[in-house]
Amino acid sequence: MPEEVKQDARKITRRRFLDYLLGGSIVVSLGSAVGVILTYIYPPKKEGGAETVQRLEVGDISEIPQGKAKPVVFQNKNVIVIHVKEGFFAVDMKCTHLGCMVEWDVEKGVLFCPCHAAYFDYKGKVISGPAPSPLPLYKVEIAQDKIYVTKGA
């Protein structure tokens, strides 16, 4: 008889343990869900990240010989820095037609959108194709042989 009482006590303990385990998992799951929702509603502020940089150092001027280009990320946007005989230009790479990324065609000296064949000049002006407007232009500064991209053209 005392053996049966012991087994009953063990069954109750196991059940309670499983209840605690289930309850604990529900609390952890709800906590995680609430954390995700709060992070979505109140995103953490980023300081000094790529999106807050007002002036981006692209590199030394020797890194982009005339006729070449270098893609960079400036304020969360893909920007291409182009070196032509007229100087350095920084153009937003997002095509104004449907948003594909344009590429610099070294041979032709133009920006080309591979999606629907839009062409832009080194200042982002539409040459041909379906793009409805020019590509945004950024300001380029040269200081002590370094190239910088800043906001505004």
53 vs 115, which CB is nearer to ligand FES? 115
Residues 50, 73: contact at Cβ < 8 Å? yes
* Run of H or E including 25: helix 2-41
Minimal distance, residue 96 CB to ligand FES, in Å? 8
Minimal distance, residue 117 CB to ligand FES, in Å? 6
103 vs 141, which CB is nearer to ligand FES? 103
Residue 113's nearest CA partner among 102, 125, 97 is: 102
Minimal distance, residue 102 CB to ligand FES, in Å? 7
Minimal distance, residue 101 CB to ligand FES, in Å? 9
124 vs 140, which CB is nearer to ligand FES? 124
34 vs 127, which CB is nearer to ligand FES? 127
How does DSSP assign 54-115, residue by residue? SEEEEEEGGGS-TT-EEEEEETTEEEEEEEETTEEEEEE-B-TTT-PBPEEETTTTEEEETT
- Applying CB under 6 A, the residues found at the interface with ligand FES are 95, 97-100, 113, 115-116, 118, 129-131
Sheet holding 118-120, edge to edge: 103-105, 110-113, 118-120, 126-128
